[in-house]
Amino acid sequence: MNIIILGPQGSGKGTQARLLAEKLGLFYFEMGGFLRELAKKDPLTDDILKKGQLIPDDMFFFAMKELLEEKISQNKGIILDGFPRTVKQFESLKNWFDEVNIKIDKAIFLDISDKEAIRRLSARRICEKCGEVFNLATAPKPKDLKKCDKCGGRLIQRKDDNPDSIRKRLEQYRINTLPLLDLFEKERILIKVNGERPIEDIASDLFKLVTA
């Protein structure tokens, strides 16, 4: 089974993707983490990310294919978190999957309001030492509001996790990513889920929907 999961920032798609991957035995691909690992090996990628710029689609897709081809060769299903983000990226992915005779079975959209996204992202904290992510408003909550549960490092707030910056990111999300929903609807693979409920309830519903 191959699944795409998308939703606005703060929707909890990463949490739900990891839970589904564990239950279904899928390879979990998370674009943010992949880019960070890529930056460690590739100075050009590192420079682009440090400048806050977007990785060119062709450059990113080539690197991603190398990783996913290995998983495909192992007959391992995939869940894609954070990719594709644009119609162009989806078309590239679909063309490649068509070439290797693989289909996208489901596309999950976790829907939350801008108000809820701002509330969640404003409460996000990151360990400056190990990069572990916590949230003061939702799970996973740190035991100590100022200290990482994992390594004891100091918890900090990202500079762009403020209401004004979040609103700008959400606007870009609507422009670039929401058009994908129409494509997924036409493909008859779209599953829309209310993402403002408890994590366990969403996870239970998603598992039933993708395995139905």
Q: What CATH number has the domain bearing residue 196?
A: 3.40.50.300
Domain assignment of residue 32, yes or no: yes
Domain assignment of residue 25, yes or no: yes
Domain assignment of residue 148, yes or no: no
Domain assignment of residue 145, yes or no: no
Residue tagged active-site, from 13, 106, 120, 125? 13
State yes or no: is 119 an active-site residue.
no
Residue tagged active-site, from 36, 65, 85, 119? 85
What's the average model confidence in pLDDT over 124-146?
91
- Containing structural domain, residue 206: 2-114+162-211
Average pLDDT, the chain: 88
Domain assignment of residue 151, yes or no: no
What is the helix, strand, coil percentage profile of the chain, to 5?
A: 50, 15, 35
Contact 182, 167 (CB under 8 A): no
State yes or no: is 124 an active-site residue.
yes
What DSSP letter does each residue of 24-80 carry, written as one string?
HT-EEEEHHHHHHHHHHH-HHHHHHHHTTPPPPHHHHHHHHHHHHHHHHHTT--EEE
Domain assignment of residue 206, yes or no: yes
Question: Which of 70-84, 102-116, 171-185 bottoms out in mean pLDDT, i.e. has the lowest?
Answer: 70-84
What's the average model confidence in pLDDT over 55-60?
70
Confidence of residue 205 (pLDDT cuts 50, 70, 90): very high
Query: How many distinct structural domains can be found in the chain?
Result: 1
Confidence of residue 48 (pLDDT cuts 50, 70, 90): low
Per-residue pLDDT at 61? 78
Domain assignment of residue 119, yes or no: no
Angle (deg, nearest 10), helices 57-73 and 87-99: 40
Confidence of residue 38 (pLDDT cuts 50, 70, 90): confident
